[in-house]
Amino acid sequence: MRHPSGTTHLWAILGDPVAHVRAPFFFNPKFEALGLDAFLVALHAPKAELVPILQGLRRIPNLKGLIVTIPHKEAMLALVDELGPQAQLCGALNTVRIEPGGRLVGEMFDGLGLVAAMRAHALEPKGARHLLVGAGGAARAIAFALAAAGAAEVAVWNRTAAR
């Protein structure tokens, strides 16, 4: 395995907790197989420390982006400089691109990714009835993506009615 250097394009996944996160075990071998000088690391970002952590991360020149997970998908909306259309629509984000100079651009791919995965496994969402269990940021992204894909119905079940 190649070791990261000062020129390696770094990516981080932020969450609280992150001990369970498996993304680096998936992405890092892919980066290596593709010959990319890139490395993904999971960073524990406690909710109360998210703002100062993000302020520091945006100043690291070879940090190219973030994957955002629980509980930060909604809080990050107010902390980025620009939101993509999916993040605006569902009120949450799961990725942040860090542009030169530290500008942060957030977007949400949970819903689009689920619809693409369904179709890759011959499960067409168009015309089907769907049940979502939960109403957090990822669930909202999935609901909008299913609706855009032509779902006949998207029902949502959540512990609390407010969501």
In this predicted structure, what is the pLDDT of residue 121?
98
- Angle 69-130-143 (CA atoms, 0-180°, nearest 5)? 40
pLDDT of residue 3: 75
Q: Count CA atoms within 13 Å of residue 163 on its CB side.
A: 17
- pLDDT tens, N- to C-terminus, the chain (163 residues): 667 778 899 999 999 999 999 999 999 999 999 999 999 999 999 999 999 999 999 999 999 999 999 999 999 999 999 999 999 999 999 999 999 889 999 999 999 999 999 999 999 999 999 999 999 889 999 999 999 999 999 999 999 988 8
pTM: 0.88
Rg of the Cα trace of the chain? 17
The residue from 30, 47, 64, 73 that is catalytic is 73
pLDDT for 7? 86
Residue 98 · residue 66 · CB < 8 Å: yes
Q: Any catalytic annotation for residue 73?
A: yes
Q: Which helix (H) or strand (E) holds 143?
A: helix 137-148
